[in-house]
Amino acid sequence: PEETVTSSFASFIHAVQPEHLSKTVRHRSKRMILDSIGVGLVGSTTHVFDIALQYCRELYSSVAVSSVYGKPGVKLSPTLAAFTNGVATHSMDFDDTWHPATHPSGAVLPALLAATQMLPPSTKPNGMDFLLAFNVGLEVQGRLMHFSTEAHNIPKRFHPPSVVGTMGSAAATAKLLALSTAQCAHALGIAASLAGAPMANAATQAKPLHIGNATRLGFEAALLAARGMEANPLILDDIPGCSGFSAFYRVYQPKPLSTPSDHHEFLLEKQDIAFKRFPAHLGMHWVVDAALSVRNLFINYAGSFSPSLIRTIVLKIPVSKYINRPFPSSEHQARHSFQFNACTALLDGEVGLSSFTESSIQRQELRELLDKVVVEHPEDNVANFDKMYGEVALLLHSGDVLTGKCDTFYGHWRKPLSKESLLKKFRSNASHVLPEDKIETIITMVDNLENLADSSKL
């Protein structure tokens, strides 16, 4: 039969093997796995996670075999565990970000962790099988995002992980469950019918559901395909007059995915990942580093940080409505506010977990700084995580102007976190719910994932 875009993706998922993963891809993806577990663990301390967990525990299930982040002894059915852990991963907006823009790990990893615990002892996948399935989920997300030029910029319509993440979860679990080529195609087709969430729910408690649903529903798509459910075998192809996956994009130009070979280059080889140093939308990291830079200049100028000397704070940022929030009133709004994050960095000299508490958000001195903010949108500052910059200028009552600018923050794919910084973040996150010995065990297991005999131990 003639190859289609959809069939090429199905063939890739079915045929790709561990030896196709380069040393660079294995290294980068293990960093992603470790970071994602860490942000999931600290996310299990949030209110939105508690809501999701209570909801899942109230649903009847006789197959409660899969673990929940931060809750030793609690088991849920596999797909509900995936959902709950997905919510935890994105509950603080602390998870990784790729380019084109999406949060790739949180949509895939919880489904794989739950699936390994679901499988009988005789068919437990080893660590290399797990790592391969994880990378299949990443690769499918990345390739789908390259089908549309829209995906390269900060989104306006659909939250990307709710779209490509659902497909990535379906692909990853289809690989882990060793589905046939035809079943892989059906899993993608089913997942497309379960995908999509609007950007209007960014900066609300509903946003973490986007990751929870992506990882859960992609997993369910693979399980349904394994049980014989069929879907449109041309779901990824551009069929005039009858939209498939193209429904999520105004511009859509699908390309076949080549059959895996020794020469196949995974997208993760070419495009590294961004890891966040503090729990907020990725765009905040540019303005925070710019604010910290100008704060140092101001302290050298004035001897200390004295807000009374500042007349106006000018933020030069890209146009993006959902992260331009002058006076956020909740933690989720604060995580999506250029103004809040810049002023917090100026006032405190850092941004961290405690920055987003109710008491921190409502501080009078912070509100006074926010009152001084003026936003500008230079034409050369585009809403694209590979091209944007952040600039913070302090216009002083004396007439002097101090400026800090950040083109590439520490943690961006152009300036990756060091191993030491990534481990420090993981240990800090995990310490909220795990003892030190368990934290170090996870670090060792992920570092040696290729040699792990039973990936369900992770």
- Together in a domain, 214 and 351: no
User: Quick check: is 342 in a domain?
Assistant: yes
User: Quick check: is 411 in a domain?
Assistant: no
CB 217 within 8 A of CB 182: no
Structural domain containing residue 235: 5-277+416-451
DSSP code for 119? S
Secondary structure (3-state) at 403: strand
Residue 40 binned pLDDT confidence (cut-offs 50, 70, 90): very high
User: Quick check: is 457 in a domain?
Assistant: no
User: Quick check: is 458 in a domain?
Assistant: no
CB 116 within 8 A of CB 130: yes
- Together in a domain, 101 and 216: yes
- Together in a domain, 21 and 73: yes
pLDDT score at 229: 85
Question: φ, ψ for residue 206 (rounded to 5)?
Answer: -75, -20
Q: 152 CB contacts (<8 Å, ≥6 apart)?
A: 99, 100, 101, 145, 384, 386
User: Quick check: is 70 in a domain?
Assistant: yes
Assign residue 37 the CATH number of its domain: 1.10.4100.10
Distance (Å) of CA 396 to CA 96, 292, 302, 326, 346: 37, 17, 11, 20, 14
Task: Tell me the per-residue pLDDT of 340-357, one tens digit each, with 9 for 90 and over.
Answer: 999 999 999 999 999 999
Task: Tell me the per-residue pLDDT of 420-448, one tens digit each, with 9 for 90 and over.
Answer: 999 999 999 999 999 999 999 999 999 99
- Together in a domain, 110 and 66: yes
> How far is it, in rounded angstroms, from Cα 148 to Cα 167?
15
Check pLDDT > 90 for residue 63. Answer: no
> How far is it, in rounded angstroms, from Cα 348 to Cα 166?
38
- Together in a domain, 273 and 288: no
User: Quick check: is 145 in a domain?
Assistant: yes
Assign residue 352 the CATH number of its domain: 3.30.1330.120
| Percentage of the chain lying above the pLDDT 70 cut | 99
- Together in a domain, 389 and 265: no
Across the range 409-418, mean pLDDT stands at 97
Residue 155 binned pLDDT confidence (cut-offs 50, 70, 90): confident
- Together in a domain, 29 and 160: yes
User: Quick check: is 92 in a domain?
Assistant: yes
- Together in a domain, 138 and 26: yes
Write down how long the chain is.
458
Residue 60 binned pLDDT confidence (cut-offs 50, 70, 90): low
Task: Tell me the per-residue pLDDT of 302-353, one tens digit each, with 9 for 90 and over.
Answer: 999 999 999 999 999 999 988 999 999 999 999 999 999 999 999 999 999 9
DSSP code for 155? P
Residue 54 binned pLDDT confidence (cut-offs 50, 70, 90): confident
> How far is it, in rounded angstroms, from Cα 234 to Cα 228?
17
- Together in a domain, 266 and 300: no
Task: Tell me the per-residue pLDDT of 98-108, one tens digit each, with 9 for 90 and over.
Answer: 999 999 999 99
- Together in a domain, 431 and 402: no
Q: How many domains does the chain have?
A: 2
- Together in a domain, 158 and 205: yes
| Percentage of the chain lying above the pLDDT 90 cut | 90
- Together in a domain, 318 and 195: no
